[in-house]
Amino acid sequence: MQSVGSRTYSKAVSEGKYDLYLGNLFGKYDNVRTYWEDRLTRIALRPYLRKLVDSCQEQNRGVRIVDLGCGAGQGYQILTLIDRQDLDLGLQHQRVLPEENIETYLGLDISQAMVEKGNEIFEDKSNVSFARADLSEGLGKLKTTQSPFDIYFSSYASLSHLSRKDLVTLLQDICQHGHDNSVVVLDFVGRYSIEWPDYWSAQTETEKVRDYSMSYLYSEATRKHLDIESFPLRFWTGREVKQLTQEISEATGIEIEVLELMDRSVMVGRHTDTREYNSLLKPIRRSINSLHEDYMRTDLQELILDPRMIPKHSEIAPFLRQLVESWNIVVEYCQQRLCQNISLVNLQGWHHYSKPLQFALMTIDRVIADVSWMWYGDPRANIIEPQLGYALRTLEYEMQQGLGCGHGLVAILKISK
């Protein structure tokens, strides 16, 4: 039986869109994916993964990982490229989970094309394998053929392909199969993203499952004449994740602790550029990609967001308005600082700014001051603009509340037995 969305994924694999590479202005592995999304997932995971890896080392064994809806194994890179600390200026990276500490990495995906691609990419790693599995049926034969895993991992909304009922089955299996302190990483599409305001009002379970496409894989010109497949996804909020885990705990008698909820890509989701679900958006992801591109100067005015694009919502709108206001302050300050006609002491209302906003402004101020003597290498394009990107990324991360406002909603859970 062919899976929902299989045509999209098979086509993407055949076109090389799941080959591993760093950064770009467009496509699956654009700069936002590389320098924002993957990095933020790593930052959120780091403290919990570090504790788990240390525990495995104390037991003189490697870490066992199952990647649920693995694609071609992108989760392997997310997990193995996490630095032990932010400011590490040593000669070599010190990773939380070095590759040699992995006993088993098993990737499961319903797409045979993905399984074959994963086996091709990781053919030189004897501890890495991929298998076809239908997660709507839970863990299936893994419950009897595999020892408990330390990490039950998912990435990039792979679990949004499951209905709520099927996800309950999967999580019950994970709880029963996992050991005490196993970590579970859930990744969904957030329902309150500015990309699809028409989805915000969903009440019934049927309304929470909506059509989705991966049209962002193609250029605007290509999208106009291409028959792009749409398929149903289940859109989630942070509150629903908490309710779900409580329900699973009560049903299994096994405690599930929600360690963290993170909204990923609040302002720069995949469909901000396509505007497929919200025609009022600016192609902001494209501009952020430009910030991280070597020798490419960005029109910073294109980064200014219009708060009128935010739909009315008693809980979500106030948060988004505050984020948009802070975002715009950082971008405007950067523009003025580049013209050397402003300093931090000139800013009105500094003491009313949030700590994340103050930090972002100080970052920009210091970076511009420190490169002012450089006359070579295009310091604006290659130093200042990437640091503006990181400042906006940190601002978004520090202000997010795990409400389901991002394109992605990441939940990190711990099993207690």
Within-domain flag for 101: yes
Q: Is the pLDDT of residue 393 over 80?
A: yes
pLDDT exceeds cutoff 60 at 17: no
Q: How far is CA 219 from CA 303, 381, 393, in A?
A: 20, 24, 24
Q: Do residues 218 and 228 touch, judged by C-beta distance below 8 A?
A: yes
Judge if 206 and 321 occupy the same domain: no
> What amino acid is encoded at 74 in this protein?
Q
> What pLDDT sits at residue 10?
59
Q: What's the whole-number mean pLDDT along residues 218-234? A: 89
Within this chain, do residues 354 and 213 fall inside the same structural domain, yes or no? no
**Residue 58 pLDDT greater than 60, yes or no:** yes
Provide the token pair at 151: 């990490």
Largest CA distance in the chain: 68
**What's the pLDDT score for residue 1?**
35
Instruction: Give the domain CATH number at 120.
Output: 3.40.50.150
87 within domain boundaries: yes
**What pLDDT was estimated at residue 343?**
87
Residue 95 placed within a domain? yes
pLDDT interval class at 94 (50, 70, 90): very high
Same domain, 22 and 47: yes
Q: Where are the beta strands (DSSP E) in 82-227?
A: 102-109, 128-132, 151-153, 183-190, 209-213
Looking at residues 111-124, what average pLDDT do you find?
94
Asked if 319 and 310 count as a contact pair (C-beta separation under 8 A), the reply is no
Q: How far apart are CA 377 and CA 375, in angstroms?
A: 7
Q: Is residue 89 very low, low, confident or very high in pLDDT (cuts 50, 70, 90)?
A: confident
Q: Are 277 and 136 within one domain? A: no
- Does residue 344 sit within a domain? yes
- Structural domain includes residue 204: yes
pLDDT for residue 152 is more than 70 = yes
- Reply yes or no on whether the pLDDT at 336 is more than 90: yes
Burial per residue of 142-162, b for 16 or more beta-carbon CB atoms within 10 angstroms, e otherwise: beeeeebbbbbbbbbbbbbbb
> What pLDDT is stored for residue 3 in this prediction?
56
- pLDDT tens digit sequence for 351-362: 999 999 999 999
In this prediction, residues 198-207 reach a mean pLDDT of: 96
- What does the DSSP assignment read for 296-358? ----GGGG---GGGSPP-TTHHHHHHHHHHHHHHHHHHHHHHHTT---GGG-TTGGGS-HHHH
- How far is residue 72's CA from residue 319's CA, in Å, rounded to a whole number? 35
CA distances from 128 to 67, 102, 107, 386, 391 (A): 11, 9, 8, 34, 36
For residue 365, give both structure tokens: 């101020």
Q: What pLDDT is recorded for position 25? A: 79
Task: Answer yes or no: do 234 and 200 share one domain.
Answer: yes
Same-domain status, 242 and 283 = no
Query: What is the Cα–Cα distance from 88 to 93, expressed in whole angstroms?
Result: 7
**pLDDT(18) > 90:** no
Total domains in the chain come to 2
Mean pLDDT of 289-315: 95
Element (H, E) at 64: strand 63-68
Q: Each residue of 252-267: pLDDT tens digit? A: 999 999 999 999 999 9
* Same domain assignment for residues 387 and 409: no
pLDDT of 85 strictly over 60 = yes
Q: Is the pLDDT of residue 57 over 60?
A: yes
Answer yes or no: do 213 and 340 share one domain.
no
| Confidence class for position 88, pLDDT limits 50, 70, 90 | confident
Asked whether residue 399 carries a pLDDT value surpassing 50, the answer given is: yes
* Domain identity same for 12 and 114: yes
Q: Tell whether 93 and 188 lie within a shared domain.
A: yes
- Domain around 238: 6-266+403-416
What is the structure's pLDDT at 14? 57
Confidence of residue 341 (pLDDT cuts 50, 70, 90): confident
Q: State yes or no: pLDDT of 230 exceeds 50.
A: yes
Determine the average pLDDT of the residues in 161-183. Answer: 97
pLDDT of residue 253: 97
Q: Find the mean pLDDT for residues 327-333.
A: 97
* Residue 260 sits in the same domain as residue 281: no
Q: Would residue 239 count as lying in a domain?
A: yes
State percent of the chain over pLDDT 90. Answer: 84
Please identify which residue in the block is written with the tokens 């049903």. Answer: 251
Q: Does 151 score more than 60 pLDDT?
A: yes
18 occurs within a structural domain: yes
Tell me: do 211 and 324 sit in the same domain.
Answer: no
Sequential DSSP letters for 139-168: TTTHHHHSPPPSEEE--TTGGGGS-HHHHH
Of the chain, the percentage scoring pLDDT greater than 70 comes to 94
pLDDT class of 11 with cuts at 50, 70, 90: low
pLDDT tens figures, 61-79: 999 999 999 999 999 999 9
CB 217 within 8 A of CB 30: no
User: Would you say residue 1 lies in a domain?
Assistant: no
198, 199, 200, 206 alpha-carbon torsion, rounded to 10°: 140
Who wins on pLDDT, 261 or 227?
Answer: 261
